[in-house]
Amino acid sequence: MTKSKPDFHGINLNSLRQSAEHLSAHILPTPTIFAPSLSNLLGASVHLKLENLQYTSSFKSRGAFLALKALKDEDKKVGVISMSAGNHAQALAFRSQQENIKATIIMPEQTPFTKISKTKAYGAEVVLTGRTLDEAKKTVDQLIDTHGYRLIHPYDDLNIISGQGTIGLEMMESNPDLDYLIVPIGGGGLISGISIAAKSLNPDIKIIGVESALYPSMSRSLAGLSPQSGGDTLAEGIAVKTPGVLSRPIVAELVDDIILVNERQIEWAIGALIEHQRTISEGAGAAGLAAIYAFQKRFRNKRVGIVVCGGNIDSRLLGTILNRTLISDGRLVRIRIGISDEPGMLAKIAHSISQHHGNIIEVYHQRLFYNVPAKLAKLDVVIETRGSTHAHDIISTLKSIGFEVHLLDEQFQSH
Average pLDDT over residues 96-102: 97
Arithmetic mean of pLDDT, 77-91: 93
Angstrom CA distances, 60 to 9, 214, 308, stand at 21, 23, 12
- Residue 45 — pLDDT band, cuts 50, 70, 90? very high
Determine the Cα–Cα distance for residues 89 and 106; give it in Å rounded to an integer: 8
**CATH tag for 13-58+158-324 (out of 3.40.50.1100, 3.30.450.40, 3.30.2130.10, 3.10.310.10):** 3.40.50.1100
Sign (positive or negative) of CA dihedral 315, 320, 321, 327: positive
Query: Do 13-58+158-324 and 60-151 fold alike per CATH?
Result: yes
Q: Decide: helix, strand or coil at residue 324.
A: helix
Each as own residue / partner, the long-range contacts of residues 403-406 (CB below 8 Å, 24 or more positions apart, any chain) are: 403/337, 403/338, 403/339, 403/349, 404/337, 404/338, 405/335, 405/336, 405/337, 405/338, 406/335, 406/336, 406/337
Domain boundaries, given as residue ranges, for the chain: 13-58+158-324, 60-151, 330-413
Helix 189-201 and helix 247-254: axis angle, to 10°? 40
pLDDT of the residue at 375: 62
Q: How confident is the model at residue 26 (pLDDT cuts 50, 70, 90)?
A: very high
The percentage of residues in the chain with a pLDDT greater than 70, rounded to a whole number, is: 95
Rounded Cα distance, 90 and 113, in Å: 12
Q: What is the mean pLDDT of residues 181-192?
A: 97
Per-residue pLDDT, 123: 95
SS3 sequence of 197-254: HHHHHCCCCEEEEEEECCCCHHHHHHCCCCCCCCCCCCCHHHCCCCCCCCHHHHHHHH
**Domain at 330-413, CATH from 3.40.50.261, 3.30.70.260, 3.40.50.150, 2.60.40.3670:** 3.30.70.260
Residues in a beta bridge with 335: 381, 407
Q: How far is 103 from 155, CA to CA, in rounded Å?
A: 17
The answer to whether residues 209 and 288 touch, using CB atoms and an 8 Å cutoff, is no
Specify the pLDDT at position 374.
56
User: Of 265, 312, 308, which Cα lies nearest the Cα of 85?
Assistant: 312
For the residues 70-88, what does the mean pLDDT come to? 94
The helix-helix angle for 13-23 and 189-201 (nearest 10°) equals: 120
Indicate whether 170 pLDDT > 80.
yes
- CATH level 3 topology of 60-151: Rossmann fold (3.40.50)
Confidence (pLDDT) at 382: 93
Within 107-211, where are the H helices? 113-121, 133-147, 158-174, 189-201
A 10 A CB-CB count for 225 gives 10
Side-chain-facing half-sphere of 382: CA atoms under 13 Å: 8
Tens of pLDDT, residues 329-383: 889 999 999 888 778 888 999 999 999 999 999 998 776 555 555 567 888 899 9
Could you tell me the pLDDT band of residue 2, with boundaries at 50, 70 and 90? very low
Residues 6+ apart with CB under 8 A from 317: 112, 234
Q: What does the alpha-carbon distance between residue 53 and residue 320 come to, in Å, rounded to a whole number?
A: 23
pTM: 0.87
Asked if the model's pLDDT at residue 415 lies above 50, the reply is no
